[in-house]
Structure 1
Amino acid sequence: MGATTTCQVLLILIILHFLVSTAQNNDATYLRALKDGWQNTPPNWEDNPDPCSGWDGIRCTDSRITSITLASMGLTGTLSGDIGQLTELQILDLSYNRLSGSLTPRIGDLKKLTNLLLVGCGFSGPLPDTLGDLESLIFMSLNSNSFTGQIPPSIGNIKNLYWLDLADNRLTGSIPVSSGTTPGLDMLINAKHFHFGRNMLSGAIPERLFNSNMTLFHLLFENNQLSGTIPDTLGLVKSLEVVRLDRNFLTGNVPSNINNLTGVFEMFLSNNQLTGLVPNMTGLDVLNYLDLSNNTFDPSDIPSWFSTLPALTTLKMNNTNLVGQLPTALFNIPQLQNVDLSNNRINGTLDIGSSYSNQLQQVNLQNNQIADFTQRRQYNTEVILVENPICMESGTSGGFCSPPTNTGPSYLTQPNNCVRTPCSRDQVSSPNCRCAYPYTGDLFFRAPSFSYLGNAAIYEALRNEMVDSFRMSQLPVDSVSLGNPSRNLDDYLVINLQVFPSGDERFNRTGILGIGFSLSNQTFKPNDTFGTYFFIGENYDFLTGASRGQKSSNTGVIIGAVVGGCVLVALLILAGIYATRQKERVERTAHESSPFALWDANNGSGAVPQLKGTKAFSFEELSKYTNNFSELNNIGTGGYGMVYKGCLPNGQLVAIKRATRGSTQGGLEFKTEIELLSRVHHKNLVSLVGFCFDQGEQMLVYEYIVNGTVKDSLSGRSGIRLDWIRRLRIALGAAKGLQYLHVLADPPIIHRDVKTNNILLDERLVAKVADFGLSKSLGDSNRTHVTTQVKGTMGYMDPEYYMTQQLTEKSDVYSFGVVLLELITSRNPIEKGKYIVREVKQTMDKSKELYGLQDVLDPTIGFTTQLKGLETFVDLALQCVEETGDQRPTMSDVVKVIESIMELVGFNPNVESASNSASYNYASKGSEHPYTNDNLFAYSGDHFPTKLDPK
């Protein structure tokens, strides 16, 4: 009986092994079939019969192909239906190649596909309806091809879709919305990006396209053939930040509830046939760019709300039937750069005033009825009054009577404190004056918030962000050069990009694949100033080792020998596999019941951790959830070790902090953090999902926080704009998290490292206190302090604790006071030898408005008229940083004061609204997240991952 059972087990194991091996071998077979339809595939695809053994652009998990990334490889050919057989595929990026033909309906068989990136290829024909079967898809970028036909309504079935870009194709027909039996785009309530510009879509924009459940950031329908009116339902989507409906055939009145879109930064309604009164946009306080030009509005006096848009950089209302005299106050808007009101009936005297915006570059009033111009001083601004009565009088002189120059400013990245030397043919001198072969292409920014193209500072900031992003993604990039900014006919900002290699004069194939994927997958997120973009890369002809090898004539023989050998070996070891798996099952059960059986209490980390209900993961589980800790899942690094993104079986995304193997550096912090976070649960504290103490590994598994740290947002690195209200909400959320630790945790907990790097922002910009590696428990609710070795971060550290080594809850209060000052100044606590607390105290004057702190405040916080309660906020911060703890408020007191400030401003402190950030960040619902590459976060020190870039 025993022998029979063993034979049965062996037979089952042989069958299972055969099925698994068949699936793995089939993946290789189907990829080779795809390869046969392509030319210019990477040379090492010829050298090895197994795609999972080092083929460029191919990534595998357990010998199943999960990622194909081949951007800018010069591929030609078609995408055959064999792609549908790669059922484990998650990422497909063939962008910037010269592929052609239609998109196979078999694409819909890829049920696990999350990223479909086919940007700038030559695909044509209709989009297959099977796109709607991609149930896991998050990122669909099919722009800049030649697709025709209608938008498949089935796309509405992709419930987790975040990014939908079908722009710059030849799509026709109407915009699909759902009915009782068919899906439509209105069902994509989690989508943040609708990009449909530069197509031939027609018909009316359906009323049902928009609803209050949608969370769209970008609505881009520019340059189509849409007709009818702008639906009133547009005003229901209050999350909108960019609206582009320009260059269509829209008619009728602009709906009045467009004034509800208070988070909109850019609004383009130009070049339509809109009628009625000029819309009232008084409520759009963050509006940067407004273009209503070339519409047939009713003759209207100059709207008074022109002068009330505090963030406006660009006002374009050419040919809109404006009548009357321009108010001088218009030109006092602090960030105003460009005013184009040409071809109207503006009359009277033009007076720009003496305190106009120092950023103002051009005022175009060509072809109006202006009779006089009051010039109070020499202007640096280009004023254009040609074809006005003032320029028709005899003897009139002055440059303002000349047509626009139309010679825009130029920009090119300058050398970094070095002298460029001549380079050989095809080589280019980098910003670091090294001759190399750069990877080049064009960045197209669809809705930048500025119009003046000559400001070198904004391009330098963009360039630095790109270099940091590439390096954080561990790409071999030495430097980046930007040049030739211009506006194209669609009002896109186009900038030429050159990326230079690090350590060599040319990139290898892996480097190009990484950079191409970073740009096609939107891993790099520019700041708010530039907004959303797409990239069209050029083929890179200078690859290291680019020569192509010959196909092996005996590939079949090799494959046959390998397969035969594998079968023989498998038969010899299958009996051992069963016994091994039984042993592993026993060990796994033992680990789950006692995960700290191997804990060494003598290594300086203390006694065995005492946990409450926290899940213990095995090393094998976390390895599986992170694709074997692949580079693709690596989202940062630091002194503690590496941080990886993982996806649990229930779909939850997690961030896994993995200590350097064998290191005891983080042992005590590991124990502290899992013990504390296993027993505290609050919406303003980062949640610990679980841990791993297995096979010599120490790992912490956190919830995945999408918007990084407050520090990154204050510095501008995250691309999230923090106005006064958002900063108040962040302060309140962090204060409530600390209040919970001090008051409701049993026993109370002192964080000991409160700082803006340890306050994270989720998808709704809700603040969450993180990093409890240095935290201390009072141990007894009656204790007032803990005597302990001084630890923390300079600049935030309580001086009383530093002197006495007595740690109290008021030590956290002091650190939080520094955070409050950092929130309003965006300055580091210690910067160029100056301490923020001292600087604020020395600058403030309570007899003046805003305590006279205008020169210290972060200029992006808002305008002085909007900063209600700032004085109370400053008073609170300075009370928190009093020299001794007994003079400082408790965190409960702090919460009450911030709540009172929010009520003064007119916001309910108990209601948290969704973010209106322009950073293109994904607002996750449960397990959703916009990107699967996932070098979006940087890891600093022992701290939780923080977002680089990007919106």
Structure 2
Amino acid sequence: MTNSTPFYFLLVFILFLGYANSQSELYDQEHAILLKLKEYLQNPSFLSHWTPSNSSHCSWPEIQCSSTPINGSVIGLYLINTNITQEIPSFLCDLKNLTTIEFQWNYLPGEFPTSLYNCSKLEYLDLSNNYFVGKIPDDIDRLANLQFLSLNGNNFSGDIPASIGRLKELRTLQLSYCLFNGTYPDEIGNLSNLEVLYIYQNRLLLPSKFPSSFIQLKNMKDFQMFESNLIGEIPENIGEMVALEQLDLSVNNLTGQIPNGLFMLTNLSILYLFKNNLSGEIPEVVEALNLTILDLSENNLSGKIPEAFGNLHKLTGLNLGLNHFSGEMPESLGRLPSIIDFGVIFNNLSGTVPPEFGLHSPLRRFEIASNSFTGRLPQNLCYYGNLFRITAYNNKLDGEFPESLGNCSTLIELRVNQNELSGNIPSGLWASQNLSTLMINENKLTGELPETLPRNVSLLAISYNQFSGSIPAGISSMINLVVFNASKNLFNGSISQELTSLSQLTNLLLDRNQFSGSLPSEFISWKSLKELNLSQNQLSGEIPDALGRLPVLSQLDLSENQFSGQVPSELSHLPITNFNLSSNHLTGRIPSGFENLIYANSFLNNSGLCSDMAGLNVTLCNSGSGSQQQSSKGSSVSLALIIGLAVVAFIAAFLLLLFIIRVYRRRKQQLDTSWKLTSFQRLSFTESNIVSSMTDQNIIGRGGHGTVYRVAVALIGYVAVKKICSNRKLDQKLENAFLAEVEILSSIRHTNIVKLLCCISNGDSMLLVYEYMDNRSLDRWLHKKRVSLPVVSGSVPNDVLDWPKRLHIAIGAAQGLSYMHHDCSPPIIHRDVKTSNVLLDSMFNAKVADFGLARILDKPGELDTMSAVVGSFGYIAPEYIQTTRINEKIDVYSFGVVLLELTTGKEANYGDEHSSLAEWAWRHVQVGGDVEDILDKEIKEACYMDAMCSVFKLGVMCTATLPASRPSMKDVLQRLLRCGDPFGFGDNKKVGIFEVVPLLKNSKRESRLDIDD
């Protein structure tokens, strides 16, 4: 044996050399493959460290190697968020030992890369958030070793293949944010080892191409059968997935009932089924005792809340909001030991709220709004000191506030409005330093406001109560106050100067109180104030001129007071939309800026006022006793005196004319040298013609970034001039970038896009000169916008915009946007589509205008992108807010809002302070509302009903949360053109048949108890 020892050592040494040699060969092969991959990706800068002479590729951060002692093999490849735009190369699986591929958050195109089938050892595959299209292949089960598969955030469509159910080793399956519009296969239930299943947010509102059978549907029953075949239900055998711990099937088009087996999964800890169309009752038997988060909100579930939910002792989040649950809430829910987030808003629940809520668990959010609860709020909601939100509005709660809320220092939001609460507010609540929203309006509360008020509150709504006393001087400490609504109370005293120090204030409503005395003379800090309502008080004195210097004040109501003196002429310079000085003691001549029929009801019951214009419901200044220039005795005037006065007047006029000519020539010389005109076609005017005519009398509009003038020019008639002022001196780079974008837009030639004639600039301003549109903007016709501007032809919408005109306008605007998206190279994205940017000519032809160029001047750091435009509230696509990615679909979303405005007559910001028209329309859909109920009553006619319903549905489609779920502008245009033969359902106008993807407030996968925000 001893003699053979050297032989064994030699044999081991030879084998080791062979192994080392083979490992070295494998290393060299894999190194070459990685360098080939770098070359295939066109040598991107983020892989600059991948070089032949660099250290071992196992040290590269994108590479993971096995732990083999010598030259470990590549087992993991991580190219995450690196802007890859090429398809996955077929040679990638030449890395024979690859077990992990993570290529998420790139721009990978094409269909599912079946070349990965050659990666025989692949266990972990993440291709999420790319641009893959088509179907998941039916033979995907060839990746037999997969334990993790994520295809989230792609454009995969069709059915989820049954073959996925044959991937027996899967532990995690994620197929969310795709376009699956087929069925969920029962075979998924065969994945007995699956622990995490995410297939949320996949539905299309309607399939992009309808099957021929679709047009044969006659009624709701037919559609529901069609819909269930199209989308499907939760598989009955889901109860066989015994290893399942997390299940998310939210925001799909799931119908039917919740299978009994689902609540029998004993390992299940997280269950999201929110925002579907599930119906029926919750199964009574609940054995999933490991549940920590349960969200069934926004479905059509009914019946009672199961008593068994009181046994879910690990439950931290429960959301049952926006369903049809009825009956009383189980008392045991108030004793859940772990509950943190609780929500049952918008149901039909009644009875008292379990009084033990908060006493047994560290409650954070408690939301029971819009039910029929009676009795008192639970007394111990903030027992553990973690509570930050209470929303209990729109119930029948009574009694006094829980005294414990006065010691709840963590409270941020308290909304208990629209109840029957009485008594005083706990003093500690007024001193809360974290409170930002306090809505206690429409109750029976009493008492006075203390001197110390919550400093950080931004929304304070206490209207329709019985508060009394004066507004304390301490209100000046509320430096973050944005909205203060104290209407319909018993407040008295004067409007204090301290109230005018709130620089963030946008809405101040103090109407229907007992305030007296005069108003402060200065409002220096009210730079953001948009609405001021002091009507139905006992205020007196003169109206301060300083009100007319508030830059954004658009709603002013001082009616039914005792104001005297003249109407300040400064008020006519405000961008007024609502204006009322009726029922006061005002005297004198109405300023010329208000001599417009849109103010016919603004000066009622002021006997001392007069006007030179008839129709304002006041005395004519040159009639009756108001004419003081005529002698009551009719005495004659000497002819010689008249002639003498005429001569003097002629000489004075001649001298004045010489002076004006001299000033005009001097000003013209200055204009010619300081303004630069960039023309995009042959013009019949010069820059001096334009600039000299930009006077207050020619203003026809004001916006957030400038003023619009109507200027008369030779040959053309009129042009519209938009003056854009920057906040700083324009440097050359900024001006050049602005002009470059302007030149792109000037090249557009389409009948439904406003023609840009030229651009005029100087050191700090830009003038954009467009063709003039006689009927101005669509919003003024839809929403009867009233502004203090000169009356020009077609500027005052006296007639209701009937449906044929609205449809004609919708088609025209769609043609303009479709041209920009599909016929321009590269495509042009508008970025700020809204009704005020849809202009109408004398024949009501729609033209898209205002491409948001003004915002470039505000954000010079973003000159090389198109993301400088944020947009307008109510029109902004949700994905832009979340990701700042911009494509054509953000215009589609905004245009969808325009369609909703055209059909409902409501404004884009319709709803409460946190919602929009798109969300409101979705809520109406979610509860199965009737389309006819929400159409604009001014234009509803039986002969137009089908077309109006079809366009409303199209608007809902366009405002889907997922960009890929929205049609293209070309598809939108085709649907509008087919509106004479709509894709509606005959006499059936039930919106519930169309499921809409709503705006997501929170993309995190956690208990969603903020649905009422």
TM-score, normalised to structure 2, is 0.35
Q: Determine which structure has greater relative contact order: mean sequence separation of CA pairs < 8 Å that are 6+ residues apart, divided by chain length.
A: 1
TM-score (norm 1): 0.37
